[in-house]
Structure 1
Amino acid sequence: MKALLCKSYGPPESLVVEEIPEPIPGDTQVRVRVHAAGVNFPDTLIIQNKYQFKPELPFAPGGECAGVVEAVGAQVKTVKPGDRVICFTGWGAFAEAVLADARALIPMPDALDFVTAAAFVMTYATSYHALKDRAALKPGEMLLVLGASGGVGLAAIEIGKALGATVIAAASSDEKLAVCKAHGADHTLNYANEDWKAQVKDITGGKGADVIYDPVGGPYSEAALRAIAWRGRLLVIGFANGEIPRIPLNLPLLKGAAIVGVFWGDYARREPMNNLMDLRTLLGWLKDGKLKPHIAGTYPLARGGEAIRQLMDRKVSGKLVITPQGA
């Protein structure tokens, strides 16, 4: 089978497509024929040896995919060959087939296509866990979403609206903000403008944002924190800017504010039943049309490095998906 391999740490351009043996499931594993695999920010880090998980070289990146079960281990009773599933692997999904722990599989709803399924769970589950569980976002609160045109950002806009918040979307271009508006943002601001913090205060009537969703990091985190409301919550999602900020701790002190970490992957591992309930809610909202994943493009396996580069350079609104069977 073919796989997009990282043979030495480096940029996306160093990835190569090669033939490797078909993986054989262990007792509790499942082999899935990958029809679509979502490209996520951790993929840009893991190939550079900058992520918390460090697979042995060579490996295929890709932690989220949708496909069909081909083979199961001797102890697997929950799925069978032919079942359509969404699965989480950490890495390995940018290939024609991948091994996954049987516990890391979610049955695919019949009406869901592979590309949408591969682009949905990680971004929407992260944003739901962040806003519902970690921030306890309430109806009528003001939600500021940084990096709002990205995959998790658009998910945060839609989930914030579903939870009854007023949503301010912040992004770096008018084109990206137009996408945010189409996904339900009530207000938009371009943080390429120096006065964007003052704009947050203007939009909120001087109060500031109750919840700040921050997948960007860098200088944007401190600037956003300076526009937070009393008892506000700053959600630390990630650092797409590439810089982990150093926050002056007098800022949360003065606002009675909380800085809250969000690590959905570990939440799903540590609290699987809570995560399952979250997913049921999200899939119900998807079926009802409350959530509309934005697929920015699909790429064959041979162009997988190009898809990762697009994400790394922040040229993407929504999600990119790799389709290995078309390679």
Structure 2
Amino acid sequence: MTKVVRFHELGGPEVMRVEDLEPGEPGPGEVRIRVEAIGLNRAEALFRRGVYIEPVRRFPARLGAEAAGVVEAVGPGVTGFAPGQAVSTVPGFSQNDYGVYAERAIVPAWALLRRPDGMDAVAGAAVWMPYLTAYGALVEVGGMRPGDAVALNAASSGVGLAAIQTANRVGARPIAITRGNGKRERLLAEGAAEVIVAGEEDVPTRLMELTGGRGVEYVFDAVAGPGVTDLARAVAPGGTHFLYGALSGLPTPYPGFDLGMPALNMRTYTVLETMRDPERLRRGTEFVASGLRDGAFRPVVDRVFPLEEIVEAHRHMETGDQFGKIVVTTSA
């Protein structure tokens, strides 16, 4: 038997239960891993509440797509992986099909990456989702270049911090936007070129000042909602406003007409664009791996919870107060 987190109805963190189940055997193209650490993502909280881009198709439902562990068994047709290998999962599969909130989990083999030598499980569960999200939008799709400026909100999240490091990696200028002054110094220490405190400064005015009136080439927006109009005011002509989250929970207008129809590109982005395209994923993993090797990328972990405290871990995630990635460890 193995401990597995499931939920039997939609709702808040309290609907999650830690249950004992048979781990099962991997089928064709699948691998069973002994999970050591799990990276939490807001997509899982949205899925649990029934407000994710993909609805829950059946109950009881499982959660989780990002984990690090060790291969235990491989299914028919799987090559390149063997029992005993340290691996991480990349979150490209549906939570309706697989879930890694467990001591043991079956996942598709294509969603596995070998864990870099010297990387422990906690770091291995905190790398791929944040960095591939930032890389996929800003570099792969956006073509971010040296000298470009990128404004990013939710800057203290795992993805926000990865975006700061990614911008610095390519010679761009990351400008972090945060709700309060308490995280300013930490964001600067993590590589932000500038920090704007939204509650104290006029964000579009400050962005224009910091770019000499040019505007930013990119907005990397995890919040969306009515605030997109103000952010769009500071996008340089031909620049791109990426929407990769909707933390505001409010309707998101298209601001182009209200702003006089500027040369504004506005598009949604999810990490699935990278995860489900083999060539993009290959380029992305090489980009991230090179940054890990030379120290340019350093995953930031906020707190580590045991699996038995998964409800508290989700409650902490939903406060929005974390700085970096929240990770859950197992006793398997």
Category of TM-score, reference length = shorter chain:
over 0.9
1:37 aligns with 2:34: no
* Structure 2: gaps of 5 or more residues: none
Which position in structure 2 is the counterpart of 1:282?
288
Q: Give the TM-score normalised by structure 1.
A: 0.95
The Cα of 1:252 is off from its aligned counterpart by: 7.0
The Cα of 1:231 is off from its aligned counterpart by: 1.4
1:158 aligns with 2:160: no
Which position in structure 1 is the counterpart of 2:216?
209
Distance in 2, Cα, partners of 1:251 & 1:133: 29
1:60–1:95: 8 Å Cα contact kept in structure 2? no
1:67 corresponds to which of 66, 69, 77: 69
Letter matched to residue 162 of structure 1: R
2:140–2:280: 8 Å Cα contact kept in structure 1? no
Distance in 1, Cα, partners of 2:113 & 2:37: 15
1:81 aligns with 2:83: yes
Distance in 2, Cα, partners of 1:193 & 1:218: 20
2:256–2:262: 8 Å Cα contact kept in structure 1? no
Which position in structure 2 is the counterpart of 1:134?
141
Which position in structure 1 is the counterpart of 2:303?
297
Residues 49-89 of structure 1, C-alpha deviations (whole Å, 9 max, x = no match): 11233252112311100100111112212211111111145
Distance in 2, Cα, partners of 1:143 & 1:65: 29
Letter matched to residue 130 of structure 2: T
Distance in 1, Cα, partners of 2:259 & 2:114: 42
The Cα of 1:253 is off from its aligned counterpart by: 6.1
2:3–2:19: 8 Å Cα contact kept in structure 1? yes
Which position in structure 2 is the counterpart of 1:310?
316
Which position in structure 2 is the counterpart of 1:223?
230
Residues 221-265 of structure 1, C-alpha deviations (whole Å, 9 max, x = no match): 221011211111101111122224112332576331211221221
- Identity, % of aligned pairs? 31
2:39–2:125: 8 Å Cα contact kept in structure 1? yes
Distance in 2, Cα, partners of 1:20 & 1:220: 45
Which is worse superposed, 240-249 or 40-49?
240-249
Q: Considering only aligned residues, what root-mean-square deviation do their CA atoms show, in Å?
A: 1.6
1:197–1:224: 8 Å Cα contact kept in structure 2? yes
SS in 2 for 1:250: coil
2:153–2:177: 8 Å Cα contact kept in structure 1? yes
1:58 corresponds to which of 53, 57, 60: 60
Residues 186-242 of structure 1, C-alpha deviations (whole Å, 9 max, x = no match): 110111235222111211122221111111112322210112111111011111222
Which position in structure 2 is the counterpart of 1:16?
17
SS in 2 for 1:140: coil
Q: How many residue pairs get matched?
A: 325
SS in 2 for 1:212: strand
Distance in 2, Cα, partners of 1:209 & 1:241: 22
Distance in 1, Cα, partners of 2:67 & 2:292: 18
Q: For residues 77 and 139 of structure 1, do their structure 2 counterparts lie closer, same or farther at Cα, with a shift above 3 Å needed? A: same
1:38–1:322: 8 Å Cα contact kept in structure 2? yes
1:62–1:90: 8 Å Cα contact kept in structure 2? no
SS in 2 for 1:299: strand
2:132–2:288: 8 Å Cα contact kept in structure 1? yes
Distance in 2, Cα, partners of 1:157 & 1:2: 36
SS in 1 for 2:143: coil
Letter matched to residue 43 of structure 2: P
1:69–1:82: 8 Å Cα contact kept in structure 2? yes
Q: Give the TM-score normalised by structure 2.
A: 0.93
1:228–1:255: 8 Å Cα contact kept in structure 2? no
Residues 125-181 of structure 1, C-alpha deviations (whole Å, 9 max, x = no match): 010011102211111111111111111111111101111111210011222222221
2:34–2:69: 8 Å Cα contact kept in structure 1? yes
Letter matched to residue 124 of structure 1: Y
Which is worse superposed, 30-39 or 214-223?
214-223
2:132–2:274: 8 Å Cα contact kept in structure 1? no
Letter matched to residue 12 of structure 1: P
Distance in 2, Cα, partners of 1:236 & 1:57: 30
Superposed counterparts of 1:165-244, under 5 Å? 165-193=172-200, 195-244=202-251
Distance in 1, Cα, partners of 2:123 & 2:39: 9
Distance in 2, Cα, partners of 1:314 & 1:30: 33
2:7–2:17: 8 Å Cα contact kept in structure 1? yes
